[in-house]
Amino acid sequence: MEKFSVARDVSVEDLADILITGFEGGIGYWACIEDYIEPKNAKEISGCRYADYPLTGGGVILSVTDEEEQYTLDGAAIRRGLQSLTPKQMRFLDTMDCDASDADQFIQMCLFGKVIFG
């Protein structure tokens, strides 16, 4: 099974849980899904396209409310986001106690390298 590494290994299942939490409860106030980039060899991890596609070679195209620019959440963005987390932000990776606010911040770190909203 593939893993993403930062200060510790993070399984794709754990990352899928974080993404689901973010999409279902965290980012709706500033972003919406515009489209999907389907992976060539799609693998089901969670059963949710917005979690599985970025972790298996595809992506999710998001737009920020009231802006025209689009952003792609894919494996490269997730790696950048993991590397951008501060020690305080990484605490939820240690316990996998991730709420909607944590997941929202993680997705923002993936897309922007910093928290912009909230």
pLDDT digits (tens, 9 = 90+) for 38-70: 999 877 888 889 999 999 999 999 999 888 899
Task: Work out the pLDDT band at 3, boundaries 50, 70, 90.
Answer: low
Rounded to two decimals, the pTM is: 0.87
How far lies 3's CA from each of 10, 75, 78, 118, in Å?
6, 11, 12, 29
* 83 found inside a domain: yes
Assess if residue 60 is contained within a domain.
yes
Q: Within a domain: residue 118?
A: no
117 in a structural domain:
no
Q: Is 61 within a domain?
A: yes
Confidence tier at 9 by pLDDT (50, 70, 90): confident
Average pLDDT of the chain is: 87
What would the mean pLDDT of 86-96 be, rounded to a whole number? Answer: 73
- Is position 69 within any domain? yes
Range of the domain at 10: 3-112
Containing H/E element for 112? helix 100-112
Please indicate, yes or no, if residue 7 is contained in any of the structural domains. Answer: yes
* Tally of domains within the chain: 1
85 within 8 A of 6, measured Cβ to Cβ: yes
